[in-house]
Amino acid sequence: MKLAVQVNEGPYQHQATDSAYHFTKAALEKGHEVFRVFFYHDGVLNGTRLTTPPQDDRNIVNRWVELAEKYDLDLVLCVAAAQRRGIVDDGEAERNGKDATNIAPKFRISGLGQLIEAAIQCDRLVVFGD
Amino acid sequence: MADLYTVNKSPFEKNSLEDAIRFSSEGASILLIEDGVYGAMAGTAVSDLVAGATGRKFYALRADLKARGIAEDRLIDGVELVDYAGFVDLVVNHDKVQAWL
Amino acid sequence: MSDVKKFMYLNRRAPYGTIYAWESLEVVLIGAAFDQEVSLMFVDDGVFQLVKGSDTSESDMKNFTPTYRTLGDYGVRHMYVDKASLEARGLTQDDLIEVAWEDWETEEEVDNIVEILDSKEIAKKLEESDVVFSF
């Protein structure tokens, strides 16, 4: 089955992103297609490579990256939410005159249309949030 | 088929569980995750919410119960435990998912 | 998939205290381009999103309340409000904004698409939807 996942919360602050990760991983391991994971609201904070959690804790950002590498998962950060919260890729840095980027590998920044498209294309949308 | 309702709030904090019950029909399934699993405990001030919701099937995510030290013998009768793979199966086997956050 | 899906946006949070209401509205506005059948549901503190008379001039926040009035132009066909949530907050339909809707092709017009429903009716609307977005 074709699934879409929406993540509304940032890492560490709320368990939503942990739930979303474990759900997505289980779905992929069962052979389902996860068409896209869309990060919205503070969820875009899942996509900064500058995260440095203590060594005895899970690395939520790297965990997403590794899952994306293994399954060619589409990890999309909402552009409007990302701009508000300072998540920047090369394109955004150039467009908005920023002197740095911080997006993690395997993540990309795109519009809200990507969420709508996922909802249209997929058999199920599963939302994780606060 | 019917819908799957996910609830991630403690019933002592917010009315999400109450809503999921109120806005569901007989045949619906309600999955308690994150702090939502506190709603699966027997002998609390809100246990009757779940125990009295006839026609709804309740599930709770085992990992979240364990993290919170809620032993299985403390649960309301009839609440079924699932792991993440079981969560995926529930999503697949229902018409759609409604997240009551 | 070319079929039109029934989208339901489930709003359960008050505006301004958190960004959820505004960013949820942004999805609705962007989603209009996709020509789906769109309904909005307001439950719990979500009913406060539709209260008239918002003035953010002293709080320096973006006032997005007027945007709700334009939703009919963005293809939103129904805005449902939970009766129990409204009553619990001491509100009536008179306290809520009105949202007009018009079909440009058929010239069908509705003066106000904001509609108050009881629990059973809301459960039915939710079940009839193909996708429920929660924020």
Helix (H, G, I), strand (E, B) or coil at A44: helix
pLDDT in tens, A4-53: 999 999 999 999 999 999 999 999 999 999 999 999 999 999 999 999 99
**Averaged pLDDT score across all residues of chain A:** 98
Q: Which domains does chain C have, with CATH numbers?
A: 6-134 (3.40.1260.10)
Helix (H, G, I), strand (E, B) or coil at C20: helix
pLDDT exceeds cutoff 80 at A109: yes
Q: How many CB pairs lie under 8 A apart between chains A and B?
A: 51
Q: Which domains does chain A have, with CATH numbers?
A: 2-128 (3.40.1260.10)
Query: Is some CB atom of chain C closer than 8 A to the CB atom of A80?
Result: yes
Name the residue range of residue B57's domain.
4-100
Which chain A residue has the Cα nearest residue C37? A120
> B98 and C132: CB-CB below 8 Å?
yes
Which pLDDT score is estimated for B1?
Answer: 74
At A94, is the pLDDT very low, low, confident or very high (cuts 50, 70, 90)? Answer: very high
Q: What is the CATH number of the domain that holds B81?
A: 3.40.1260.10
8 A C-beta contact, residue A122 and residue A4: yes
Q: For chain C (length 135 residues), average pLDDT per consecutive 10?
A: 86 97 95 94 98 96 95 95 98 97 90 97 98 96
- List the 21-60 stretch of A: residues with Cβ below 8 A of C: 40-41
> C123 and B96: CB-CB below 8 Å?
no
Q: Residue A6: is it exposed, middle or buried by C-beta count within 10 angstroms (0-12/13-18/19+)?
A: buried
8 A C-beta contact, residue C58 and residue C27: no
Sheet with A33-39, strands from edge to edge, namely: A107-110, A75-78, A33-39, A2-7, A124-128
